[in-house]
Amino acid sequence: MKNLYLDCQSGISGDMTLSALIDLGADIEYITSQLKKLPIDPFTMDVKQADKQGISSKQLVLQFDEVAHEHFHTAASSVHSHSHAHHSTHHHDHSHRHASTIFRMIEESDLPERVKQRSLSVFEVIARAEGKIHGMDPSEVHFHEVGAMDSIIDVIGVSLALENLEVDKIIASPVPTGYGKLMMAHGLYPIPAPATAEILKGVPLADFQVEGELTTPTGAGFIKALVSDFGPLPAMRIEKIGYGAGKKDFNHPNVLRAVLFEAEDHAKVESITVLECHIDDMAGEAMGYLMEKALANGALDLYYTPITMKKSRPGILITVLSKPDDAFFFEDLLLKETSTFGVRKSNWERNILDRRFQKVDTPYGTVSVKIGYRHGDIYKITPEYEDIKKASINHQVPFNKVYRLVEQIAAEQITN
């Protein structure tokens, strides 16, 4: 298990985060090849060296439709992802995309499962904030010109980079927002933008008075959806440090510092909250919807257990596992989305194996497996469901046959 620390002293944006992770060693070819499998506009992605007040850092360079001439734009909406950010290689004539379209694209993709979960959780956080600001359902939120392509590449690109670096836990410093005003599609807005402020509710802010937008909605989305703890650098052994440059120049180094720590090699015990309620009068489709919504919003797990209630009525016990900080959200979700009149809540500890993902070559193509280990010893190897399903369909071979063969090959390749 590797921990990542995001040092947000100059704020955080989508492009800064992605370039910082590439500077840390995330494989840009892997990220680009995975992104190009998605039904999005043609693009090229690279990084260049940038000097920010004496700090050498990586800066993201995106080009769309092979247009490389300079095109300065104002932020098209508060969902734009690029901080400090006139993105000088962009030319955008893209139609608006609904958040629901982006959710569906991610869910139906062949991206690794954890990449899907992280991407969906970030977009859900942003869409929820935008929906509240503009008075609309989150799924109906528009990602305008800049937001559509840039946000998709930043959010999914960062999730792919985290997977490539084998990051399990993310910690961050308090976050500065900057102050002043910013021209957006809806007019002149205060900094932090309304969506950014909404997303950052509950996140510790840093008192750093700089005129300009330091933290964007996408940057705030990463912080809200993916970070589990806030504070100073943890007392662990540093493996590597990366710097991602923002587009603007200030009197301070406009960089995001990302610090990767060596894998922990001890039992991982963490606190979780368990929420439960009994149901006997809900449609099955509504329960399916509840599960999708809970998992998309970062629930660790949700499951249903058949039970017998008073007067021998058949019923369902709904159990949600969540991070303690998210317990109130899921408590509210159960009260809103189910017919229950009350939710039970308790705090538990769980002991989990360290885990990493690895690709293995099989007669059915390359398949991803999840490896559970502790103290360097491998306890279990589990093929990823979506990969097995795809191989089974493509090769017209029974699912169980593909699963067993992949399990056997993986055990030989990984343990030898």
Residue pLDDT, tens place only, 325-380: 899 999 999 999 999 999 999 999 888 888 888 888 899 998 989 988 877 788 89
Nearest alpha carbon to residue 271 among 171, 372, 351: 351
Residue 145 pLDDT > 50, yes or no? no
The tokens for 134 are: 């503009």
Q: Give the per-residue pLDDT at 266.
A: 55
Contacts of 258 (CB under 8 A, 6+ apart): 4, 5, 6, 7, 17, 20, 21, 23, 24, 241, 242, 243, 244
Residue 405 pLDDT > 90, yes or no? yes
Average pLDDT value for residue range 283-310: 94
Amino acid at 413: Q
Domain boundaries, the chain: 2-261, 268-352, 354-415
What SS3 class is residue 334?
helix
C-beta atoms surrounding 400 within 10 Å: 10
Residue 74 pLDDT > 60, yes or no? no
Share of the chain above pLDDT 70, in %: 88
Average pLDDT value for residue range 70-97: 40
Which of 99-103, 140-144, 240-244, 265-269 is most confident? 240-244
> Which CATH number is associated with domain 354-415?
3.10.20.300
Nearest alpha carbon to residue 139 among 122, 127, 156, 152: 127
Please state, in angstroms and rounded to a whole number, the distance separating the CA atoms of residues 195 and 376: 43
Report if pTM > 0.85: no
Q: Give the per-residue pLDDT at 79.
A: 42
The CATH T-level fold of domain 268-352 is Alpha-Beta Plaits (3.30.70)
In which band, very low, low, confident or very high, does the pLDDT at 25 lie, cut at 50, 70 and 90?
very high
Q: Give the per-residue pLDDT at 158.
A: 97
Average pLDDT value for residue range 88-96: 43
